[in-house]
A and B are shown apart, each in its own frame.
Chain A
Amino acid sequence: MSPALEKFPSLTIFSGWIASLALYHQGIAPLLSGTLSLLVTLGFALVFTRNTPKRFWKVLFLAVLVSFSGAFWMDQGLSRPESFPEKTEVSIMGTVLSSRTWGNRFAVVLGSSEERFLMFIKPPATIMEGDRLHIEGYAFPLRDNRKDTFNEILYWKSRGVVREIIPGRISPVKKDSPSIHTWRSALRRKIDLQVPQFLRGYLLASWLGIKDPELRERHGRWGTSHLLAVSGFHVGILAGLLWLLLPRGPAGSLIISFFLWAYVLFTGLSPSAVRAAMMLQMILLGDLLNRPLNAINSVAVACMAMLLFNPWIFWDLGWRLSVTAAFTIASFSGMSISPGKAFLLSPLIWITTAPLVTGAFGAMPVAGLLINLAAIPLYGLLFPVFSVMGFFYLLDIPFPEMAVLPLRAFLSIWNGTCDLVCRIIPCQLTWHPLLVFFSASVIMAMISISTGSGWKRTTLALLAVNLLVSSLSTSLVV
């Protein structure tokens, strides 16, 4: 059978969906969207086909059918006109699902029993996650406030928000019962009050998915912002630790699954964390059923499920970065490379995610290429240490202050070293269309090598994929 269809059939479908979703903003009709997806899936599967075993045509037909119908269905859902009137007077009761700074305002997402609303509040009025509010005001369809490439409508839609409210009156209501949001708020407050500054930002990031402004600026300068966003990295650390500590078998897998999803839920269900948890869940299930799954296939299945549930997630930068990094890791692991060369993974991820990062932020520090070599394994060890220390502070367990001195000293040296590297390598990588081709070529080449294809087939596949990418480059990044 085709190595692509045999090893990762879902990837052939997923690539078709990506192509069709990238054209959504140009107003592609569902039928055309489905046809485009079908062609890409078929092309991708056939390029890697060398012979036709028994089930080949059946699997190919199924892949093409799923590709067409999925793309058709998603495009139809995305293009459905909104039935909301231009302006509606509303009086709603809801819970604050998230509250984050948005320029000089707070962007608050309010979940009512029917839909999610967005509203902007100016300081000093602060609204905490988990607050129950009664709001009287006017609801409007979401606005596109685009001043650069960032599209606010897509950002909020990927978070399930459907309308914006301009509030006339906001009244706090007594909370019915504790919820995940009130627990998050309470924990945030406790961390803010009880944990020392050097640890606080890391705990807020890894436990709640909240980025401390100072830490965000520092890691942004170093090119290591991904360490502060709850993603496969954090989910992987948790799953890895539990995997080591718990006995193998159904009970162990069940406990890991429970903690995995509890963590993802508590950190705010970020798309990248959900993607990672779904992928790990499939691997756990595969292990239980004695059917080890292909890593590339697992990533693709998780991504497809998320797109079917909420196609707007395609425009979420965190999700895109997480998917690109996950495909890089999965295809790298499929190339049977010696463990000694594992250090190559970090620069590879840096290269493959470069078009997305530079497309969104304009530039990324080249020093990050070097810093990430050490930062990824280092923070893999540090985050569990931070968490253990966090428990001590939060539970008021007395311990000598001397115990944290080595960590403080180490972090101080680390910060100084990273700043020094940034001063030595001050250049920034800026956006260029060629980055997309380079990134696509690296991933495609690794996938091709993992299927055992020769260099001729790999070269042709690269050329064909890059031809397609040439028309989609901007839509794939922005």
Chain B
Amino acid sequence: MMVKKIFQDKKGLFFLAGGVICLFLAWLMVSSFSGLVPDEEPTTVAGPLPAAEKQEISPEDAGEEKPEAPWVVYITGAIAKPGVYEIHPDSRVFELVEQAGGLTSRADTLRINLAMKLQDGVHVHVPALNESGQREDIPLSGSSEPESMADPPSFSFQASAGTGTGERIDINRADAEELQTLPGIGPKTAASIIQYRSEHGCFSCPEELIRVKGIGEKKLEKLKTCIFCDS
């Protein structure tokens, strides 16, 4: 009876205390929860950076000054004067198009990004509408397997480094030694490629290499001209 009376008199205080206790319990729960990740020492230890990996550092990355020589670029497709042109560095596609006499009436203007920045040694392909006025297949940029598609790659980095032997390597069959002959691939990345292959099966296309740990956009671009997949 007395407890009830005290509760009635100090109801607000009891609720406040109850609320604070609940929030405190919630805090206790949150702070004591360490998650599902076990608190164990890592089983793998990172080794020293392999020498081959250092090849990735290009003069650009190292901050060396680039010579201001004109860029050489190749333009094909629905363009007035297709061919190889010299163009000042840091140009964009529209400047190249202007130099090449402009787009033809068959050019599919939706499929070409005229504002895109160019690079030295690239190949720009302007897609055309077909006879019925419909669009051609969309060329996938930078693919190293043009024969498998309706069109050649619209934007390929031909100036990328090669393997040194001039031969392409089948990334589905190459062993670690062969893979290490590729630009930017050291023993660690080669091992990652082989591990990926054993876990996920053959590579379906060269672009799938990007899913391998240690291979990023830049490295893939360099590799594309030196590899192929025969699945």
Binding site for B on A (CB under 8 A): 2, 19, 23, 25-28, 32, 35-36, 39-40, 42-52, 86-87, 89, 103-105, 121-128, 133, 137-138, 140, 143, 166-172, 174, 457, 460-461, 463-465, 467-468, 470-472
Contacts and interface: CB of A to CB of B under 8 A. Distances in A.
A123 B208 CA distance: 18
B75 to A, nearest CB: 11
B30 A50 contact: no
Contact of B19 (A27, A43, A123): A43
B159 interface: no
A123 B142 contact: no
Contacts of B140: 121-122, 125, 167-170
A18 B58 CA distance: 46
A41 to B, nearest CB: 8
7 contacts: A46-B18, A50-B15, A87-B200, A122-B142, A126-B110, A169-B148, A172-B138
A464 B12 contact: no
B23 A125 contact: no
Contacts of A44: 19, 23
B15 A168 contact: no
Contact of A465 (B16, B23, B30): B23
B80 interface: no
Contacts of B142: 122
Interface string B137-164: 1111110000011100011000000000
Interface in B61-83: none
B37 A2 contact: no
A45 B19 contact: yes
B137 A170 contact: yes
Contacts of A457: 16
A467 B12 contact: no
**Chain A binding site: helix, strand, loop or mixed by DSSP?**
mixed
A52 B138 contact: no
A28 B33 CA distance: 8
Contacts of B205: 137-138, 166, 168
Interface stretch (B46-54, B111-119, B180-188): B111-119
A49 B12 contact: yes
A51 B12 contact: yes
Given A27-B37, A43-B20, A172-B138, A36 B30 contact: yes
A174 B134 contact: yes
Nearest to B115: A123
A471 B28 CA distance: 9
Given A40-B22, A128-B110, A468-B27, A122 B15 contact: no
A457 B14 CA distance: 12
B16 A40 contact: no
A26 B29 CA distance: 13
